[in-house]
C-alpha cells in the first residue's frame, strides 16, 4: 500500500464512521474478515473476536446504539507493506489505533488497540 492509497482509504473509512453508515464502512472489509477488539469483549461478552462481516456488523451496530455521538478524528496513519495503522481520537478524546491487514484493497484482519485509560469508550461495565 502506498501513502496516497492509504490516505484515500482512511478518508473514506472515517467518513463512513462519522456518518454512522455501516454499509459504507463494511465495504472496506473482506467477507471473511477477522477483527479483534477489547471493546467488543466489553460490549458483547466473549473473547472480543468477530469473524466475518455479519459479526462485525453486529458489534458496530451495538457500539453505535450505545455511543450515539460516536465520532472519530484521524490523528495519523502509518503505512506498511500490506497493512495500515490508523491513529484516531474518539468522541471522548481517547486515542485509539486500528491495525489493519489488507488483502488487496480490503481489510482481512483488524485489531482495535487502546491506551489503558481509554479502553472503555462506551462506558461498559
Over the stretch 27-61, which tens digit does the pLDDT of each residue have?
999 999 999 999 999 888 899 999 999 999 999 99
* Parallel/antiparallel/unpaired status of strands 95-103 and 73-79: unpaired
Task: Please check whether residue 82 lies inside any domain of the structure.
Answer: yes
* pLDDT tens for each residue of 53-102: 999 999 999 999 999 999 999 999 999 999 999 999 999 999 999 999 99
Task: Please check whether residue 16 lies inside any domain of the structure.
Answer: yes
Task: Please check whether residue 57 lies inside any domain of the structure.
Answer: yes
CATH code: domain of residue 30: 3.10.450.50
Give the domain range for residue 37: 3-116
Q: What does pTM read for this prediction?
A: 0.90
Question: How many domains does the chain contain in total?
Answer: 1
Task: Please check whether residue 83 lies inside any domain of the structure.
Answer: yes
Amino acid at each position: 500500500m502506498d501513502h496516497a492509497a492509504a490516505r484515500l482509504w482512511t478518508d473514506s473509512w472515517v467518513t463512513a464512521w462519522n456518518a454512522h453508515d455501516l454499509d459504507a464502512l463494511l465495504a472496506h472489509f473482506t467477507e471473511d474478515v477477522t477483527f479483534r477488539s477489547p471493546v467488543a469483549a466489553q460490549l458483547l461478552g466473549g473473547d472480543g473476536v468477530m469473524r466475518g462481516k455479519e459479526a462485525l456488523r453486529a458489534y458496530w451496530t451495538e457500539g453505535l446504539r450505545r455511543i450515539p455521538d460516536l465520532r472519530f478524528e484521524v490523528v495519523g496513519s502509518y503505512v506498511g507493506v500490506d497493512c495500515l495503522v490508523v491513529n484516531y481520537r474518539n468522541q471522548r478524546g481517547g486515542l485509539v489505533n486500528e491495525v489493519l491487514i489488507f488483502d488487496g484493497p480490503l481489510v482481512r484482519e483488524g485489531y482495535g488497540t487502546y491506551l489503558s485509560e481509554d479502553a472503555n469508550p462506551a462506558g461498559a461495565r
